[in-house]
A = this chain, B = another copy of it.
Amino acid sequence: MNDNLIKVSVVGVGYWGPNIIRNFISNAHTSVDSICDIRSERIDAIRSIYPFLKSTRDYRELVHSSDNDLIAICTPVFTHYEIAREALLAGKHVLLTKPMTSTTEQAEELVNLSEKKGLKIFVDHTFMYHGAVKKMKELLLEGKIGDLYYFDSVRVNLGLFQHDVNVVWDLAPHDISIMYYLLDQYPESVIATGADHFGTKLEDMAYLTVYYPNNLIAHIHVNWLSPVKIRQTLIAGSKRMIVWDDNEPSEKVRIYDKGIEIVPTSDQVYDILIQYRTGDMYCPKIDTREALAVEVEDIVNSIQHGKTPISDGKVGLMIVKILEAAQYSIKHRGKEVKI
């Protein structure tokens, strides 16, 4: 692949598709060629902004067109596997909105197929490209946080209820992708609980515990029924602790120079001595570029220069595995599911 423009076709131009289009148009190395949606009013809406886009209601036309290199699939998750498979078979790279597929098997098959065909799969876990996450990743890699103790993420607000997936498949891919990226380890098992309050069989709130080796523990609370919007992640390590509050307009990431040390003592009643350490707090400057724009750069670097992208098919597969485990666990009252 040379430095020519990467031409993208976008399937599904409802809620998220327009952002995908805008960012592929903005990037100097990519262009958008055509769009597809089964709803003609969505096509009209997009073409009123970008009149130069070709359009169709049949995704197969795009997949088999000779004018594009990458198919961006922004449709409901239950359609991902079929469209992506057909695109890969037709020799196209694919970008899938999160979550990658409805099942682990589908994700594995797509990863295998892409490797066989020498093509790329990208999964749009946008938060993995967020300036705050990038900054936290740097801090972790530099050893500033020390040995990790836990990751705790709360993502709650009022609605939007989805009709085809529960709150775990809707919101938790964000937290799981961030968790997976930052902790950078293979989880052991998942225990999840939750409830459906409207008889839809789709949980509107859920709690996931993810066990990692060495007493590292992660927990995610996702909820469509909260009166207030909370986007808060706590990460604690042996050296420092982080609070990421994505609702904060400016100081989103706070690094606390706080910790605890346990000193063995000879005292019989109180056989350990706890020492607290508290110091300064600081908020590093965060890259404020739109995460999706950074993601498109990563896609370009992957296709044009062979760089491994941050969020590829293997990452997408891992996240589907955890989602599936969480789903099973919820339906079985918190039964532990090994990953």
Binding site for B on A (CB under 8 A): 149-150, 152, 154, 156, 158-161, 163, 189, 191, 193-200, 205, 207, 209, 211, 215-217, 219, 221, 223-229, 234, 236, 241-243, 247, 249-251, 254, 256-258, 260, 262, 269-272, 274, 276, 278-285, 333-336
How many angstroms between the C-alpha atoms of A279 and B207 in the bound complex? 28
Q: Is the CB–CB distance between B334 and A161 below 8 Å? A: no
Q: Across the interface, do B279 and A280 meet the contact criterion of CB distance under 8 Å?
A: no
For A333, the chain B residues whose CB sits under 8 A away are 189, 191, 211, 336
CA distance A278 to B270 in the complex (A): 47
Closest residue of chain B to A209, judged by CB?
B193
Query: A-B pairs with the 4 shortest C-beta distances?
Result: A282-B282, A227-B241, A191-B334, A227-B256
Q: How far is the CA of A168 from the CA of B284 in the complex (A)?
A: 32
Contact assessment for B285 and A282 in the assembled complex, using a CB-CB cutoff below 8 Å: no
Q: Copies per complex?
A: 4
How far apart are the CA atoms of A7 and B194 in the complex, in Å? Answer: 48
In the complex, residue of chain B having the shortest beta-carbon distance to the beta carbon of A276: B159
A/B interface sample: 13 pairs, CB < 8 A = A150-B223, A152-B223, A159-B260, A161-B260, A163-B269, A189-B333, A191-B333, A194-B217, A227-B234, A227-B258, A228-B234, A229-B250, A280-B284
